[in-house]
Structure 1
Amino acid sequence: MQSLEALTRDARALAEGEIVITAAESEVARQMTVCNACRYCEGFCAVFPAMTRRLEFGKADIHFLANLCHNCGACLHACQYAPPHEFAINVPQAMAQVRGQTYADYAWPPALGALYKRNGLALALALVLAFSAFLALALGLKGTLWGPAAGGSFYELFPHGLMVSLFAPVFAFVALALALGVRRFWRDVTPATSGQPASAPALSEATHDALTLRYLDGGHGQGCSNEDDAYTLSRRRFHHFTFYGFMLCFAATSVATVYHYAFGWAAPYDLPSLPKLLGVLGGVSLCVGTAGLGWLRLRRHPAHGDAAQKPMDLGFIALLFLTAASGLALWLSRGTPALVLLLCLHLGAVLALFATLPYGKFAHGIYRTASLLRHAVEKRQPNPIGLGAD
């Protein structure tokens, strides 16, 4: 719950027009007020215990709660005030709409926040085709577009220094944009979540909850709710395949970088080398996870989320799948004429993925982790209103 000073400051800023409460934020505040009176869902996830520590919901509280929500849908299916009731309580949908707004609000540079609304499936595929065509054109002008590279070496087509000069600036920008965005978010929500710094126990708990996706179990261990009220752990499992597949691929690239610069061992690497083992396992896991998430996203009922974000979700899933699938195909095509075009496709997919990371669905993991950490900090403080499930 915000301190009296913070609430007074927000009220003054609101009156002076410095803080603008959007319609989506007002709807979350309305629904949380109803839920605070009911509290049937208090044990479902982190959102409701955090809610019970508040009597009023300012902008920072709403942003914090919206990013704490994992959109499992359990509260919607349990709610006696869900549509068609006149209260029209749909917490997952209301929270999803505010989450999308926070990504744009905290984007860096701010002018690029509008990209969240345009970063859809069509744009993702267009970027892949554009980058791939550009790389293929470059190879065509060099006369190396047709025919396999000797030994299957990518560096004979694109020198290592050229690849570094292409990807390092993009990666640095992605890291900077996401870091500055979450820094602003953290500074805004900290006063609304006790204001205390993160302790080691809080950090440990938040890390565990983020890595295990604890709050995708529906509050009862059976998983997310489908539109027919049946439970499923599919979303949790496919998220795990996707996240850990991505991390394995990142680890493969990191180990390969150490091999190249520390030991002078140039790619390509073969089994059973560590970069290849990590890359293959990560690529397969990423393909399974993204294919599953895409299938679930296409089938999910519109009431379970924000329909306006569906193109962004599918765009991000498609880029991850293309990156993983083209990477695996490269391994299988070494020594064949297909390698050159597949390399252009793979590098195009990676460039498109990196270019859209700060302004796409990837951001939700960053902001959600920050909210989990603030929740872990807040729950360790005395409840300011003396009631709650912490």
Structure 2
Amino acid sequence: MQSINVVNIDPNEAVQTTDGSMTEARRQLEVCNACRYCESFCSVFPAVNRERTFSEATITQLANLCHNCRGCYYACQYTAPHEFGINIPKVLAEVRQNSWQDNAMPAFMARAFHRSGAALAVAVVIGFALLLWLINQLPQSMNANLGEGFYNQLSHNAMIAIFIPAFLLPVLAIAISVRRYWRSVGGTQLRLCHIKAALASVAKMRNLAGGSGEGCNFEDEDRFSNARRWYHQATMIGFLLCFAATSAGTLMHYLFDMQAPYTLFSLPKMLGVSGGVLLSIGTLGLGLLKLQADRDLADRRVWGGEMGFIILLFLVSTSGLALYVLAASPWLPELLALHLGSVLALFVLMPFSKMVHGFYRLAALLREQQLQ
């Protein structure tokens, strides 16, 4: 059996910098590599046991492979008050956060959002909503309100002019960020088998199922649950359905000259309403779980930013559903401004919010497939 040697670093005095987090992560991973009790828990520990030394690239890859389910912490015999002070979920969360921030464009925006994301998200939503509401108050000749339904409040051309750049530029920023990450962890050319296996893991949220398949104990040390896995799936599927609804509406408008508003049983409405319901349920559930969970097992610096991202998604989905239900009410201009302001805020803040974790985690799963 391997002996366990550990550098004498007080885990309660961990430095909140990239280098400090890396040093602490390396120390703890060396202990885990010697112990190997958690080998069957998730994808992280087989990857840990494959290594003899831990470079910064390897630690960054492991951090983005971690789903912060916390099962390893509650099973570990070396957590505080043991002198080893092992807290893998926390230290990998810090490294993971640093990797997102360091690769973001610009990095200072990512740091600002994750430091005070909830307040920033609400402020940006209110600001955009107010701006869009004021645009709607312009004289008809200036606003060109020539359409029906929502387009009578804000013209189709105005929506295109505002939202296309607001979506494409952040997506480009995320693509550059993920490319930087991929290069930093030594990613190489992908094969179809790598992509299929990684996507299957994402679809099933396999790493949130726990080693036994009973789920993780994210919100409660003594209770295994699949709640976090289910809420993640609802959020992911709901978001994809809403994106599909927007795509379907775009194709119908430009290819088939079928302009909004659409009926309830049209493809955009069916996809959008079902996606909105799932997204609202998923984000509400994730928010409640995060309120219950132990903040000392994550990166405390960014709790507000993570909640800010959840709030943004919840506002987008819930305001969209409210807009559909109350489309004939006198509150339509205000509801439309709130919904479009939420969507615009989500787009603009995407490269700096926790939205990037999905892309980074997929990249980490792809890289893991290459390394197996």
**Do the two structures share a fold, i.e. TM-score over 0.5?**
yes
Do the aligned residues in 1 keep the contact of 2:116 with 2:302 (CA within 8 Å)?
no
Do the aligned residues in 1 keep the contact of 2:114 with 2:303 (CA within 8 Å)?
no
Residue in structure 2 matched with residue 24 of structure 1 by the alignment:
21
Match of 1:138 among 132, 135, 138: 135
Instruction: Tell me how far 1:306 sits from its aligned partner.
Output: 1.5
Q: Distance in 1 between matches of 2:127 and 2:110?
A: 22
Residue in structure 2 matched with residue 183 of structure 1 by the alignment:
179
> Between the two proteins, what is the percent identity of the paired residues?
46
Instruction: Tell me how far 1:35 sits from its aligned partner.
Output: 0.4
Instruction: Give the 3 Å change call, closer, same or farther, for CA 309–111 of structure 1 in structure 2.
Output: closer
Q: Distance in 1 between matches of 2:248 and 2:69?
A: 36
TM-score normalised by length of structure 1: 0.87
Which fold has the larger relative contact order, with Cα–Cα distance below 8 Å and residues 6 or more apart in sequence? 1
Do the aligned residues in 1 keep the contact of 2:115 with 2:302 (CA within 8 Å)?
no
1:152-199 deviations in Å (ceiling 9; x for gaps): 611112111110110111111111000000001101112xxxx65322
Question: Quick check: 1:378 aligned with 2:367?
Answer: no
Question: Quick check: 1:199 aligned with 2:191?
Answer: yes
Matched residues, number? 352
Q: Distance in 1 between matches of 2:155 and 2:54?
A: 55
Query: Unaligned regions of 5+ residues in structure 2, if any?
Result: 1-16
Residue in structure 2 matched with residue 280 of structure 1 by the alignment:
273
Q: Distance in 2 between matches of 1:142 and 1:304?
A: 54
Do the aligned residues in 1 keep the contact of 2:18 with 2:98 (CA within 8 Å)?
no
Larger displacement relative to structure 2 (362-371 or 219-228)? 219-228
Do the aligned residues in 2 keep the contact of 1:196 with 1:378 (CA within 8 Å)?
no
Residue in structure 1 matched with residue 205 of structure 2 by the alignment:
213
Do the aligned residues in 2 keep the contact of 1:202 with 1:373 (CA within 8 Å)?
yes
Instruction: Give the 3 Å change call, closer, same or farther, for CA 303–119 of structure 1 in structure 2.
Output: closer
Do the aligned residues in 1 keep the contact of 2:279 with 2:317 (CA within 8 Å)?
yes
Match of 1:224 among 211, 216, 232: 216
Q: Distance in 2 between matches of 1:154 and 1:367?
A: 36
Residue in structure 2 matched with residue 174 of structure 1 by the alignment:
170
TM-score normalised by length of structure 2: 0.91
Residue in structure 1 matched with residue 69 of structure 2 by the alignment:
72
Residue in structure 1 matched with residue 10 of structure 2 by the alignment:
none
Residue type of the alignment partner of 1:115: A
Q: Distance in 1 between matches of 2:225 and 2:18?
A: 35
Instruction: Give the 3 Å change call, closer, same or farther, for CA 83–101 of structure 1 in structure 2.
Output: same
Q: What is the DSSP-based 3-state SS (H/G/I as helix, E as strand, rest coil) of the residue aligned with 1:297? A: helix
Query: Unaligned regions of 5+ residues in structure 1, if any?
Result: 1-19, 380-390
Match of 2:312 among 315, 319, 328: 319
Do the aligned residues in 1 keep the contact of 2:114 with 2:306 (CA within 8 Å)?
no
Instruction: Tell me how far 1:330 sits from its aligned partner.
Output: 1.0
Do the aligned residues in 2 keep the contact of 1:271 with 1:277 (CA within 8 Å)?
yes
Matches within 5 A, 1:226-245: 226-245=219-238
Do the aligned residues in 2 keep the contact of 1:28 with 1:91 (CA within 8 Å)?
yes
Q: Distance in 1 between matches of 2:18 and 2:336?
A: 47
Q: Distance in 2 between matches of 1:21 and 1:304?
A: 18
Q: Distance in 2 between matches of 1:303 and 1:111?
A: 24
